[in-house]
Amino acid sequence: MASDYFQRVTAGTLTRFWINNPSGEDMEWAITAGAINCTTNPAYCSKLLQSDPDYIRGVVDKVIKETDDDEVAAVRVYEEATTRVMERFLPLYEQSAGEYGYVTMQDDPRRDEDMDALIAAARRNRTLGKNFMAKIPVIQGGMEAIESCVQENIPICATEVFSMAQAVEICELYERAVRRTGNHPPFYVTHITGIFDEYLEKVAKREGIRIDPKVLSRAGCAIARKEYWMLKERGYQTTMLGGGARGTQHFTEMVGGDVHVTINWSTAEELIQADGPVVSRIDVETPQSVIDEISDKFIDFRKAYYEDGLSPDEFAGYGPVQLFRNAFLKGWYLLLAEIPSRRHLYAL
C-alpha cells in the first residue's frame, strides 16, 4: 500500500505518527508507512483476539502451560505480545540511536493508582527490550511512579491526560526530577482527544444538552492545541503525543506542530487512501464562540480547558479519565476470561 500522505507529512512538517495496538500485519504496514513508535495499552490483547486471533491464542496456549495462575498468565501474555512488537521496532531504535523505535506498555489497569505496582511493572518490562517505554497515567500514584522512572532513567509516556491541569502538573514534576537527578529520559505527554469528544457526547445524550455535533466535535482538539502551545511557550522538556483518536481529524488538526500522534491502523488507512493535502492546522484558533458555547454547557470542558480546572487529587475521578480506564478494564477482563477458556478447551 502506497503511503504518500505520511511521507509528505514527514517531509514537510515536524509532525510524526505512531501506531496503536497493531496486529502483526498492521504493524508491518505501519512501519512501511512511516510509523516511528508504537503504543499498546491494557486492551491490546483483547484487540488481538479480534485482529490477530490465531497469534494471540497461540501465545495464551503457550503461557498456560507455564503457569497455573491466571493473573500471572495474563501479564505474561501481554509481555509476549508486546515483545513481538519491540523486536520489530528494534532496528528503527538502533538506526536512530534511540530516538525512535519505542514501544509503550501500560499494565493491569486495576493498579493504576498503586505506585509500587506501577514501578515494579516498569522495572520488569524494561527487561523485555531496550526500546521499552513505560506508559503511566497522570493520576495520583501514577505521577509518583513517573517521578521514579526519571530517577531510574526509564523512558516515559505520561498518559490519560485530558486537561491543562494534568499537563502542567506532570511537566513540572518531570522538570523537578530532571534537575534533582540529572537524568533526562525521553518524555511524552499524551493528550487524549477523541475519547474526550466521546465523553462529552455521552454527557450531552444523558443530560439532554442540545448542541450542534459539529461544535461539540471541536472540543478535544481545542484543548489539545491550547496544551501544545502552552508546552512550547513554557519550554517544557517534552514532546506532546496525541492519543485516543476516533477520527482522521484527531491527526490532521495537529499537523504542522512539533507533535506526534498515535492512531489505529484503520485511521492511518483512511488518511493514506484519501491522500489529502498536508495542511498546517496546529495554529488554527478555535473561535471564541465555540469555546464559550461548550464552556457554558459542559462543566467538564471547563475543568479541562482552564489550567486551574482540576486539582491533582481530582485527576483519577475525572469523567473522561474514568471512561478511558473503563475501556482498559474491559479489555483486561476479556484477556483474563480467555485464559481459563483455553485451559478448559485443552482439558476436554
Q: Which three cell numbers stand for residue 149?
A: 522512572
Cα 45 versus chain centre, distance: 15
Q: Residue 126 and residue 204: Cα distance in Å, rounded?
A: 42
Give, for all 348 residues of the chain, the pLDDT tens digit: 456 899 999 999 999 999 999 999 999 999 999 999 999 999 999 999 999 999 999 999 999 999 999 999 999 999 999 999 999 999 999 999 999 999 999 999 999 999 999 999 999 999 999 999 999 999 999 999 999 999 999 999 999 999 999 999 999 999 999 999 999 999 999 999 999 999 999 999 999 999 999 999 999 999 999 999 999 999 999 999 999 999 999 999 999 999 999 999 999 999 999 999 999 999 999 999 999 999 999 999 999 999 999 999 999 999 999 999 999 999 999 999 999 999 988 775
Q: Residue type for 55, please?
A: Y
Q: Residue 90 and residue 305: Cα distance in Å, rounded?
A: 38
What does the chain come to in residues?
348
Q: Which three cell numbers stand for residue 50?
A: 479480534
Count of beta carbons in the 10 Å neighbourhood of residue 324: 24
This prediction's pTM: 0.96
SS3 of the chain = CCCHHHHHHHHHCCCEEEEECCCHHHHHHHHHHCCCCEECCCCHHHHHHHHCHHHHHHHHHHHHCCCCCHHHHHHHHHHHHHHHHHHHHHHHHHHCCCCCCCEEECCCHHHCCCHHHHHHHHHHHHCCCCCEEEEEECCCCHHHHHHHHHHCCCCEEEEEECCHHHHHHHHHHHHHHHHHHCCCCCEEEEEECHHHHHHHHHHHHHHCCCCCHHHHCCHHHHHHHHHHHHHHHHCCCCEEEEECCCCCHHHHCCCCCCEEEEECHHHHHHHHHHCCCCCCCCCCCCCHHHHHHHHHHCHHHHHHHCCCCCCHHHCCCCHHHHHHHHHHHHHHHHHHHHHHHHHHHHHC
pLDDT number for residue 3:
63
- Domains: count for the chain: 1
- Are the CB atoms for 76 and 48 separated by under 8 Å? no
Q: Which three cell numbers stand for residue 59?
A: 501465545
Domain that holds residue 114: 4-347
Cα 301 versus chain centre, distance: 20
Q: Residue 331 and residue 329: Cα distance in Å, rounded?
A: 5
Q: Residue 335 and residue 79: Cα distance in Å, rounded?
A: 13
CATH code, 291: 3.20.20.70
**Main-chain dihedrals φ then ψ at residue 231, nearest 5 degrees:** -60, -40
